[in-house]
Amino acid sequence: VTGVLAPALARRSRAVRSGPIDDLFALTAGRQDLVSFAAGAPDADALPVDLVLPATQRALARWGPAALQYGSTQGLLPLREACLPVLAARGIQVSTDEVHVATGAAGGLNNLGMALLDEGDTVVVERPTYGPAVKVFRSYGADVVDVACDHAGLIPEALDAMLSTRPVKAVYLLPTFQNPTGRTMSAQRRAAVADLLVRHGVLAIEDDVYSDLRFGGSPVDALWSHAPDQVVYLTSLSKTLAPALRTGIMVVPPRLAEAVLALKQGIDMQTSSFTQAVTTELLRAPRLAAHVGATVDLYRRKRDALVNVLTAGLFGEFTWRVPDGGLFLWLQGPRAFDADALLPTALDAGVAYLPGSAFHVTPEDGRNTLRLSYASPALPDVERGAARLAACLRQHA
C-alpha cells in the first residue's frame, strides 16, 4: 500500500532539502538557555509595532476596500512610486515601469529562477553565498558553480575565466554586506564585474537586502548602476522594517518584464494588496528614518559586543573581518577545524551558529568556517553567547 500511495515527487524535490536553519530550530526547540547566532532575523525589539499599527489604520482609511482587493501583478503604483527615492539613494534611477513588487526578496528570487532557468543552465555564485538562493536555482535544474572571492568580494579575473570557458545564464551576487560574510564589494570591483557582464552578455541578479543597515563608511552605488540592462536588482524591507510584511522590490529590465509577470501570476497572483498598502504608508511615515536609524544603532552595538568578546577570547587561529553593516560576522578557523562537527558541542554549551558548509556549493569547502548572526539575541545575550562560543572554540578547535 505504501508504494501505491507514495506521492510521485518531481525531480526538483530530490535536488533540495529543508535548510540548516530549519534543522537547527528542530534541534533547539524549547531551549530557553540557548543563545542563537543562527538565524538572520531582526531583533524582536526592533520590529516597529508602534509604526505598523497607525500605518495599518491609515492604509485602510485611505485605500478603503482596494487594500483588501486583488490588484495588479506588478504591484500597486503608489508603492512602486514610494520605492523610487529608496532606489535612487542606491544609485538606481528608474521609473515605476521597471519596479516590480515581490513577495519578499525570496519570492522575487523564485520568480526570477522560474523566468530565467532551464534544466542544465549554469548559474555562477560567489564562494561562499546565500544558501537558499542555491536551492532555488537547483530547483529549476540549474548547475550552480561558484567563483573565488576575497575580502572585497568576487574576483573579476576569476569571473572572467569562468565566463570565458562555459555558457552562463546568470551570475548571482550580493555586493553589499554579503550574507554570509558581511563583506562589501568596492565600487571599482562593481565596475569591473559590470564590464564583464556587458562584454560576455550575461545577466546578473543583485541581491541587496542589507544595504540600509550601514554602521560606518560611505554607501556604494548598486552594481545595477554600472550595467542597468544586465542586472536584475532585488531588495526587500524585511531587515529594516519587518519580514512579515513580505514586501520585496525588484528592478527588472523591460525585456524580462513580461515573462516575470506572467509567471508571477502562477506563483501567487500578486503580492498581498493589504501589506502593500501598509508598506506604502510606512514608507511615507516621517518616523521611518528614525526607526531605521535606531535599528542600525542597535545592531552596531551588538556587532561591537560580539567583536569585543571574540577579540578578547580567541587568539590567532580564528580570523574575521569586522563588517561595516548588515547582520553577519564570518569566522574562519584553522584548516583542520570542523564547524559542522563542533555544532552539537556548541549547542550543549548553550550557543548556536550556522556552519559555513551551509553557504558553499561544495559543503566541504566551508568546513572550517561559520556564520554568526548578531542581530536577534538581546545585547547581554550577544556577550554571553560570544563568551560561550569562544570557550568552545578554544577547547575543541
Ligand X SMILES: Cc1ncc(COP(=O)(O)O)c(C=O)c1O
CB of 8 to ligand X, least distance (A): 30
CB of 314 to ligand X, least distance (A): 25
Hey, which bits of 212-358 come out as E strands?
Answer: 231-236, 247-251, 328-332, 351-352, 354-355
Report the C-alpha gap between 248 and 254 in whole angstroms: 18
Q: Closest CB to ligand X among 236 and 357?
A: 236
| Radius of gyration of the chain measured on its C-alpha atoms | 21
Work out whether 71 is an interface residue with ligand X (CB under 6 A). no
Facing residues of 234 across strands? 207, 250
Q: Closest CB to ligand X among 207 and 281?
A: 207
Looking at 98-106, 266-274, 334-342, 368-376, which segment touches ligand X (CB under 6 A)?
98-106
Work out whether 236 is an interface residue with ligand X (CB under 6 A). yes
**Side by side, which strands form the sheet with 354-355?**
328-332, 369-373, 354-355
Looking at 213-221, 236-244, 269-277, 340-348, which segment touches ligand X (CB under 6 A)?
236-244
Looking at 48-56, 103-111, 271-279, 381-389, which segment touches ligand X (CB under 6 A)?
103-111
By beta-carbon distance, which residue lies closest to ligand X? 104
3-class SS at 3?
helix
Work out whether 356 is an interface residue with ligand X (CB under 6 A). no
Cis omega (within 30 of 0) for bond into 65: no
Whole-Å CA distances, 53 to 56, 197, 236 = 5, 44, 20
- Binders in 22-51 for ligand X, by CB under 6 A: 40
Q: Closest CB to ligand X among 174 and 358?
A: 174
Give me the residue label for grid cell 527588472.
252
First to last CA, the chain: 49
Q: Closest CB to ligand X among 132 and 333?
A: 132
Work out whether 282 is an interface residue with ligand X (CB under 6 A). no
What is the x/- site pattern for ligand X, positions 122-151, by CB under 6 A?
Answer: --------x---------------------
Contact pick of 179, 272, 279, 295 for ligand X (by CB under 6 A): 179
Report the C-alpha gap between 104 and 236 in whole angstroms: 6
Looking at 59-67, 160-168, 235-243, 253-261, which segment touches ligand X (CB under 6 A)?
235-243
Contact pick of 91, 141, 219, 243 for ligand X (by CB under 6 A): 243
Facing residues of 233 across strands? 206, 251
Report the C-alpha gap between 263 and 134 in whole angstroms: 20
Minimal CA–CA distance to 349: which of 97, 86, 17, 31?
A: 31
Task: Give me the residues that bind ligand X (CB under 6 A), please.
Answer: 40, 104-106, 130, 174, 179, 207, 209, 236, 238, 243, 248
